[in-house]
Amino acid sequence: MVLLRFTLSEEGVNALRDALACLNKFSDEVSLEAKRDKLVFTALNSSKSAYAAFSFASNRFFSKYHYEGIAQNREKFFCKLYNRALLSLFRARSGDSLHDPEKGGSAIERCDVAIEDEAGKKSRFIVKIACRNGMTTKYRLPFEVSPPVHAKFDRNEAFNSWTISSRTLRQLMDHFGPGIEYLDIHSEDDSTVNFTCFTEKVASGDEVLKKPLHTSIAVEKDEFDTFDVSEDKLHIVVSVKDFRAITQHAAFLGSEVSAQYSMPSRPMQIRYDGDGVKCEFLLMTVGERGAPGQRAKKTRAGAKPAPRAQQLEAAASRAASNAPTPAPRPTPATRREPMPSLRPTAPRQSQRPPPATLDHESLFVPQDDDYQWEPVRMNEDEDEEEADARLEWDASDRPNPSAVKMSSVIANQTAQRSGPGPDNGMDQDQSLSYLEPTQRLSQARQFGLFND
Amino acid sequence: MRFKTQLKNIRTFSKLVAALSSLEKIAWLRLDDEHVRFTVIPDTGSQVWALLPMEFIFDNVQLQSAEAQNTINLELPLVPLQRALKSALNATSASLRLTKKDGIPILSMTIQTSTVAQGNQGGGQGSYSRFSRGDNGPGHFAGGFGEGDDDDGVYNIEPLETHLHREREKIITQDIPVRVLHPDNVEMIMQPKVREPDVHIQLPPLLQLKAISDRFTKLAAASSRASSSATATAAASNPKLELSANMHGSLPALPLEEHPSTFFREAGPDKWASVRVDGKDWSKVLSVGRLEGRVIACFADEHALILYVYVPQYDDVQGEDCVVTYYVSSYNV
Amino acid sequence: MASSVRSGSTQPPLFKAIASSTRQIYQLLKCISFTAKVHVQITQDGIRFAADHSRVMQGVAFLDKELFTTYTLNLAENEDGALPQFQINLAAFLEALQIFGASDVAAKQAKADAEPYRSNLRNYRPDAFSHQTLGVPGTCCLLYEEDGSPLSIILEETGVKTRCNMVTYTPEQPDDIPFDRDDLAFKIIMHSKWLLDSLSELAPMSPTRITISASPNAPYLALSSGGALGSASVDFTSGRDLLDTFTIDTKWTQSFKFDLVKSATEAMRVASKVSFRGDGQGVLSLQFMVEVEGGTTSFLDFRFVPYIAQDEDDGMDTDEEEEV
């Protein structure tokens, strides 16, 4: 029995995909919640410190939308889906108008989605994508009926707020390098707001050089559309990864981003709207009231244990479905598992710096055709791994063998000169006259070079 | 110890750092009153000594050190430096200063930049067009069959400055961790001494040379992969390229007698000086081409190859060139 | 791989062909690069390259002699008149072909890069007499001196001369997968892009097998698969006009290993049309027509052996028929 049916245009598919791509940065699973007036996709990250929700208005976002509901629960239906599958089937099709001007090729004409949930039958999330040329693809995905966890936010206690253009925010974020964990936002004085990125990873000895770039940006306060923070120098600290995911999506929509929060270790709400969609995020902020700046320093020095797990508070719904699912789960406890603060667990996406060339991730003006100068890659997989191992500065505890210490170089130098192995051709006992190792141009000219 | 300077020629500086970091991620930076010197010495592969006149990348330098000849020696990670320089590429001004934060010495780069302010938040926001983005791009198997979890690729490059309404200034601070090296430890690291080269030539455009070299390296790799499943160590099985040169190109004759090159010249065009280099290492060396300098290659037959890359100061024709010297090892057959 | 130049041979080589570009040759051969070694047979009409994957999939690329400016096969030298055949490492051959053009592309790039602000650079001014400026094309020569000798690729362009000697291996010609033209179950001719698009619709579900059905009535042609993430099926119910030729008697359904069909995607990409046929034994034949510059048409031929019919347990979902 079909309990929900809706139709998307090509643009609708694109907007949905953008939202799913953003949700995917929080969790592999996405929760769907359907009501008569809206369809909501949410995700809560594994450490329960970040929550994202996209609410699509049924009358504005969809070409058609019909919610039937089921007997057990007329009000709403919910389920969980594996986001990667959704992302791949809602991907952009090549509307290759060059090869196929008359038909628009395999660009999406329309996309019909239906959710079937019936006793004794497999529950299905069915997507039918019709391309302009007439080809039709039908996908059937399994889903699990389990209630979404919504994080709670008390707007009344959140007396601090600001709004800023998503584009400005995105530009700021581009200055932050890879490997950093936290973003600290605070007002410096009456006219400046400071965005500072830092990491809590302890670094000592040789590891010092593997610390990520520490970046801070002073922004004029009037760059914000509003900035209403009651307490001066209130440091509010969130996870960079989550914040970046939000700013990237917000920049697509080009909307105004507004943030509301109360104090450290209480959630921050970030909101913005698109056409027919409301986007809302809750990020648990780190730190303690009073001296967040110092706290970070102390932790760095190892004098203080890691901050206590900070999680969002949940508001769960009751399961109601015919689908053969595991018994309704107990409401996920909010403070049960010991999770390490906001630090992303086992980063799936390695935060390695982008290959210095083809810099897809930056808005800086690309430098010429720099990729041509990248070293050769013979065996793509193998090489990539090797290159990554050399580029990663944060993800592993292993000492990086490529980190040259000058002292070891000194030790090696003597050995290299006399030792076997590649013939360096730099024997000192050659009795021929030596050329100064570094030539000035004038010296080169003496050999008849560059005399033009 | 005190070091503070304005930065200039940031694009060239950034390219130099990119070229160096293709060989090794950490460099030795030596500063004195006249020169900046970057040295990278990888465990295996070619080493580089880049000697830059101070005014090549710095301006208004304040340098003060208790060490002899007023020198400062630092160990410097190149990837964060490159990243910081990227932030500075479109800056109105940028400066660099050696300082300490939380007990850790850092090179702190202060970048002043002005970005667009959106005077008007109206409907013209569509420029972040999702239709021009390359997420799964032109569909098909490039995206379809690959593991499509290339999150960051979803977001394309956007123009930094578009509609200028009002410029607002931002001050960006990028702190690069460094280690201060004691002069006793580094002053004994010497540039390799090499005997007089047998053949010296000006290399053809590096882009061309690199394109062909890389193809050769790949070809050798493809051949060895298919013909043997040998489990030799990676370095040993890496493709080697043999480079040879003779003294019968278009360069003018050297007026020196008893110079090895004179001997090679007199021996006729069949007299070649050859070196064998590691294909992957050579490709990293050729990455210096991005600096667009002129390159002289000096072949010491069967021993070593030295490249001198001369990068002129574009804004000061009279200025001293920057010289980047590569010492490339030659392998025995 | 050493570039030792053969000398002393006074006889004309067994085979020699010269092309002014390697692009088409590369493009065609890349389509069958799903195995390391390929079988090469030189005929009077062209060179046939065949790749075989465990006798379950085969791909053949035929380089028509029209792709070459000169093409000489001196069979007289060969007593019994047998056609030369051997195996080569295709990956290495493809890399070698790419050396052609590498330096030219680089040179052009360098020229294009010379933006005005760098005009004070005198370093590598294009030489007025360079090949490039004069429009002198490069050449690619394939040379096979005699039975058992290496296959040489000699590339000349822009003052760069490259010679690669590819080791040739003893031929071990696999039997062709039999495809019975007299027992055709169906034949469809369509734009190869539609086939490519169909496969890219199925790919995200990470399927292990693909089921292909052709039927006289709607959906005419359907490709379906199931995988860990769910199931997907593409049909042409509303796309009947995409099938330029459509000949069929009764419904034909067979399953194939998805990854094998996927290895033909490069062919789907470069080809303009595909002839899509199945025979009574269930063997699938895909013939691709590749139109290259200058009007020459080349063909690529792939054959696939199906799974045995009753072998159904691949986790495919069976409740496919309800409509949305």
* B144–C contact, CB cutoff 8 A: yes
Domain boundaries, chain A: 2-150, 153-311, 352-393
On chain B, the residues whose CB falls within 8 A of the CB of C37 are: 226
Same-domain pairing of B209 and B177: no
Does residue C132 lie in a domain region?
yes
More confident residue, B85 or C76: B85
Q: Which site among B136, B140, B274 would you substitute to test the C interface, given the most C Cβ atoms closer than 10 Å to its Cβ?
A: B140
Say whether both C248 and C141 belong to one domain.
no
The verdict on residue C46 lying in a domain is: yes
pLDDT in tens, chain A (452 residues): 788 999 999 999 999 999 999 999 999 999 999 999 999 999 999 999 999 999 999 999 999 999 988 777 778 899 999 999 999 989 888 655 444 444 456 789 999 999 988 776 777 899 999 998 889 999 999 898 888 888 889 888 899 999 999 999 998 999 998 888 999 999 988 889 999 998 877 666 667 888 889 999 999 998 999 999 988 889 999 999 999 999 999 999 999 999 999 989 899 999 999 999 999 999 999 875 444 444 443 333 333 334 445 677 776 544 445 544 433 333 333 333 333 333 333 333 333 333 333 233 333 333 456 777 788 776 544 443 333 323 222 223 333 333 344 444 444 444 444 334 444 444 433 333 344 444 454 555 555 444 44
Upper half-sphere CA count for residue A394 (Cβ side, 13 Å): 25
Give me the half-sphere count of Cα atoms (radius 13 Å) on the Cβ side of residue A317: 19
If asked whether residues C200 and C294 sit together in one domain, one would say yes
CATH 3.40.50.970 fits A153-311, yes or no: no
B179 and B41, same structural domain?
yes
Domain A2-150 shares a fold with domain A153-311: yes
User: Domain check: are C103 and C235 in the same one?
Assistant: no
* Same domain membership, residue B203 and residue B299: yes
What distance in Å separates the CA atoms of residue A433 and residue A424, rounded to the nearest whole number?
A: 17
C317 is a domain residue: no
Q: Is C106 on the interface with A (CB under 8 A)?
A: yes
Shared domain check, B91 and B223: no
DSSP string of A351-411? -PPPPSSS-TT--SPP-TTGGGGSPP-SSHHHHHHHHHHHH-SSS--S--TT---HHHHHH
Q: What's the DSSP call for residue C112?
A: H
C109 part of contact set with chain A, CB < 8 Å: yes
Contacts of A432 in chain B (CB under 8 A): 195-196, 260
Q: What's the CATH fold of domain A2-150?
A: Proliferating Cell Nuclear Antigen (3.70.10)
Specify the 3-state DSSP secondary structure of C88. strand
The whole-number average pLDDT for the span B26-48 is: 94
Triad B45, B48, B52: Cα angle to 5°: 170
Interface partners of chain C (CB pairs < 8 Å, 3 or more) are: A, B
CB-CB under 8 Å, A373 with B290: yes
Interface mutation vs chain C, best among B9, B11, B141, most C CBs within 10 Å: B141
Structural domain contains residue B125: no
Is the residue at C314 inside a domain? no
Identify whether C195 is part of a domain: yes
Structural domain boundaries enclosing B14: 2-116+168-183
Q: Round the CA-based radius of gyration of chain B to a whole number and report it.
A: 24
**Given this model, what pLDDT does residue C165 score?**
92
- Looking at the structure, tell me whether residues B75 and B223 fall in a common domain: no
For residues A305 and B239, the model is more confident at B239
Statement to judge: residues C242 and C296 lie in one domain: yes
Between residues B275 and C107, which one has the greater pLDDT?
B275
pLDDT tens string for chain C (324 positions)?
Answer: 444 444 455 678 999 999 988 888 999 999 999 998 999 999 999 999 999 999 999 999 999 999 999 999 988 655 667 899 999 999 999 999 988 877 666 666 655 554 333 333 334 444 444 444 445 578 999 999 998 999 999 998 877 888 999 999 988 767 889 999 999 999 999 999 999 999 999 998 889 999 999 999 989 999 999 887 889 999 998 888 889 999 998 999 999 999 999 999 999 999 999 999 999 999 999 999 998 777 788 999 999 999 986 544 444 444 443 333
Q: How far is C194 from chain A (nearest CA, A)?
A: 8
Q: Where are the alpha helices (DSSP H) in A2-161?
A: 10-23, 83-89
Q: Which of B193, B223, B294, B326 to mutate to test the interface with A (most CBs of A within 10 A)?
A: B193
Please identify which residue in the block is written with the tokens 């005929």.
Answer: C43
Q: Which of residues 54-83 of B touch A (CB under 8 A)?
A: 75-77, 79-80, 82-83
Q: C64 and C97 share a domain?
A: yes
- The token duo for A283 is 């990020």
CATH, residue C283: 3.70.10.10
Query: Is residue B109 assigned to a domain?
Result: yes
CB contact under 8 A, B217 and A378: yes
Residues B102 and B212 in one domain: no
How far is Cα A124 from Cα C324, in angstroms, rounded to an integer? Answer: 11
CB-CB neighbours of C293 under 10 Å? 8
Are C219 and C154 members of one domain? no
Note down the domain range covering C189: 181-304
Higher pLDDT, residue C2 or B295: B295
- How many contacts, defined by CB atoms under 8 Å, are there between B and C? 86
Do C223 and C81 lie in a common domain? no
As a 3-state breakdown, chain B gives helix, strand, coil percent values, each rounded to 5, of 30, 35, 35
**Residues C161 and C248 both lie in one domain:** no
Q: For the beta carbon of residue B43, count every other beta carbon within 10 angstroms.
A: 13
CATH code (residue C143): 3.10.150.10
Which among C193, C230, C237 has the least Cβ separation from residue A142? C230
Q: How far apart are CA B321 and CA B291, in angstroms?
A: 12
Q: Which of B156, B183, B210 marks a domain boundary?
A: B183
ipTM for this prediction = 0.81
Residue B93's CATH number:
3.70.10.10
Interchain contact C18–B (C-beta under 8 A): no
Instruction: Check C199 against B222: CB less than 8 A apart.
Output: no
C2 falls within a domain: no
Q: Number of structural domains, chain B?
A: 2
- The confidence score (pLDDT) of residue B75 equals 94
Q: What's the number of domains chain C is made of?
A: 2
| C210 shares contact with chain B (CB less than 8 Å) | no
The count of CB pairs under 8 A between chains A and C is 88
Q: Is C104 on the interface with A (CB under 8 A)?
A: no
pTM of full prediction above 0.80: no
Decide if C219 is inside a domain. Answer: yes
Q: Is residue B220 part of a domain?
A: yes
Give the distance from residue A222's alpha carbon to the nearest chain B alpha carbon, in angstroms.
9
